[in-house]
Amino acid sequence: MSIIQIDQLVKSYRVQQKKEGLREALRGLWHRETKTVDAVRDISLRVESGEFVAFLGPNGAGKTTTLKLLSGVIYPTSGTASVMGFVPWERSLEYRRRFALVMGQKNQLWWDLPAQESFRLHQQIYKIDQTTFKQTLDELTSLLTVQSLLGRPVRELSLGERMKMELIAALLHRPEVLFLDEPTIGLDVIAQHNIQQFLKFYQEERRITILLTSHYMKDVAALCKRVVVIAQGRIQYDGSLSGIVDSFSGDKIITLQLSEGQSELGLERFGTLEKIAMPRVSFRCPRNDVSRSLAEILSNYQIDDMSVEDPPLEETISKLFTHVSEDRTGETADQS
Ligand SMILES: Nc1ncnc2c1ncn2[C@@H]1O[C@H](COP(=O)(O)OP(=O)(O)OP(=O)(O)O)[C@@H](O)[C@H]1O
Ligand SMILES: [Mg+2]
């Protein structure tokens, strides 16, 4: 049995639709117009123990909703899920002791208290014995180098320091499954890197199962072998990060360093010119034509150097996102 099993999970929200204008507002007093937003439409997924999986997707894709469902914060409209054998929204105490949710956009620590006070509270809630508590806390604070900040009120900490404290709070009870919703949002590159390094180390060491959402490709590239792309509440891709490029980018980028005296004239017939900075010329060439084009170029041009690369990952992913959102039919209006 997989540690996380999701089958045909659906979550729709009913939201009020406000219309503009006084007439419509008055009408709205009697007839409430609502519409249904399908946040998660039909997600089925298996995650094995010890996997570190990334959820990628454009804004509003349903990533946070999925993590909230798996944490039992909200109930699904239909479908089933099980995490370590628990149904998350039954909210059993035993389940709560074995997973954690960290949201980069939301504070879970007491704002006016030093982090260590919040940690003690966690110790009591999760009934962690003193020896284990101290050992875990020492380990986490030294890995994240925040020993000297434990006594400072959380509101005085920087965003990055606060995020580290949030992570410690989440890991104190040694969860086996961790849900991370944009843990590096708003952090500078150094803080981002520190959090990445920590997560990588911790996950490898403990072999816990992690689901992460992030808009930073660097996080995903550094941490996750498996990437699940969600858009419009559905899974659009499940595989390796590099596989996204193979599946969704039809082009390669060829860069030539022309020998002295050579002109770029005529190269446009092999693809779309991207950049000319003589003697270097880059152009986009359909993947299937690369070897034929290269052979022809080599026999017609004098070249000092050349390379064939994939287009930037960000570009491919944003193409994938727009590709799937072009036929958006996500919202259905209804009256009640
Ligand atoms: N409490 C709610 N009430 C009504 N609609 C909601 C609610 N929560 C989320 N939604 C809607 O559900 C959809 C999915 O939202 P969700 O927060 O899961 O997206 P996301 O993938 O996490 O996006 P982002 O990358 O911006 O964080 C959005 O259209 C959102 O407006
Ligand atoms: Mg979100």
150-168 pLDDT, tens digit per residue, is 999 999 999 999 999 999 9
- Average pLDDT of the residues in 242-271: 83
Structural domain includes residue 316: no
227 falls within a domain? yes
Gap between the Cα atoms of 205 and 43, Å rounded? 30
Mean pLDDT of 31-49: 91
- Is residue 327's pLDDT more than 60? no
Residues 110 and 157 in one domain: yes
Peptide bond into 279 cis (omega under 30): yes
Give CA–CA dist 279/36, Å, rounded: 57
Asked whether residue 315 is assigned to any structural domain, the reply reads no
Same-domain status, 167 and 284 = no
pLDDT tens profile 284-315: 998 888 989 999 988 888 889 999 988 877 77
- 155 in a domain, yes or no? yes
- State which amino acid sits at residue 1: M
Count Cβ atoms below 10 Å from residue 81 Cβ, excluding itself. 22
Q: What is the pLDDT of residue 336?
A: 39
Assessment of whether the complete model's pTM goes beyond 0.75: yes
Counting residues of the chain whose pLDDT is more than 90, the rounded percentage is: 61
| Average pLDDT over the chain, rounded to an integer | 89
Residues with CB under 6 A from ligand 1: 13, 15, 37, 39, 57, 59-65
pLDDT at 177: 98
For residue 316, the model assigns a pLDDT of 80
Measured CA to CA, the distance from residue 249 to residue 133 in angstroms comes to 49
- Secondary structure class of 53 (helix, strand, coil): strand
Is residue 326 within 8 A of residue 273, CB to CB? The reply is: no
**Chosen domain end from 245, 265, 291:** 245
Q: Tens digits of per-residue pLDDT, 158-199? A: 999 999 999 999 999 999 999 999 999 989 999 999 999 999
Task: Note whether 255 and 117 are same-domain residues.
Answer: no
Please name the residue whose Cα sits nearest to atom 17 of ligand 1. Answer: 64
d(CA 109, CA 115): 7
Residue ending a domain, among 226, 245, 264, is 245
Question: What local confidence, expressed as pLDDT, does residue 194 receive?
Answer: 93
Kindly state whether residues 136 and 282 are assigned to the same domain: no
Residue 183, CA distances (Å) to 115, 166, 321 in order: 18, 9, 22
Give the pLDDT band of residue 149 (cuts 50, 70, 90).
very high
Does 182 share its domain with 260? no
Domain that holds residue 294: 251-309
The more confident residue out of 247 and 283 is: 283
Tokens of 262: 């050579």
Helix-helix angle 159-171:115-125, to 10 degrees = 20
If one residue of 10, 59, 228 were mutated to test the ligand 1 pocket, choosing by the most ligand atoms within 8 A of its CB, it would be 59
Q: How far is the CA of 38 from the centre of ligand 2 (A)?
A: 14
- Which atom of ligand 1 lies at the shortest distance from residue 62's CA? 18
Residues 183 and 256 in one domain: no
pLDDT at residue 326, rounded to an integer: 59
What are the pLDDT digits (tens) for 21-39? 788 777 777 777 788 999 9
Provide the 8-state DSSP code for 48. -
* Side chain identity at residue 98, one-letter code: R
Same structural domain, 108 and 158 = yes
pLDDT on residue 334 = 47
The reply to whether 240 and 258 lie within a common domain is no
Helix H, strand E, coil C: the string for 175-232 is CCEEEEECCCCCCCHHHHHHHHHHHHHHHHHHCCEEEEECCCHHHHHHHCCEEEEEEC
Residue 96 lies in a domain: yes
DSSP 8-state class, residue 324: H
What is the distance in A from the centroid of ligand 1 to the CA of 308?
Answer: 39
- Together in a domain, 138 and 185: yes
Q: Does residue 75 sit within a domain?
A: yes
Which ligand 1 atom is at minimum distance from the Cα of 230? 21
Give the pLDDT of residue 95: 96
Same domain membership, residue 194 and residue 60: yes
Would you say 178 and 100 are in contact if contact means Cβ atoms under 8 Å apart? yes
The number of distinct structural domains making up the chain is 2
What residue's CA is closest to ligand 1, atom 11? 39
User: Tokens at residue 10, please?
Assistant: 């659906």
Q: For residue 81, what pLDDT is reported?
A: 97
- Boundary residue ending a domain (245, 265, 288): 245
Choose between 301 and 138: higher pLDDT.
138
Q: Is the pLDDT of residue 335 over 70?
A: no
Considering the domain architecture, whether residues 14 and 147 belong to the same structural domain is answered as yes
Cβ(200)–Cβ(218) below 8 Å: no
User: Which CATH number does the domain housing residue 295 bear?
Assistant: 3.30.70
Atom of ligand 1 minimally distant from the CA of 105: 27
Q: Whose CA is nearest to atom 7 of ligand 1?
A: 13
- Residue 331 pLDDT exceeds 80: no
Please report how many Cα atoms fall inside a 13 Å half-sphere around the Cα of residue 329, on the Cβ side.
1
Find the helix packing angle between 313-325 and 241-248, rounded to 10°: 60
317 in a structural domain: no
CATH number assigned to the domain comprising residue 125: 3.40.50.300
Please indicate, yes or no, whether residues 200 and 76 belong to a single structural domain of this protein.
yes
Q: What pLDDT does 255 receive?
A: 92
In a domain, 327, yes or no: no
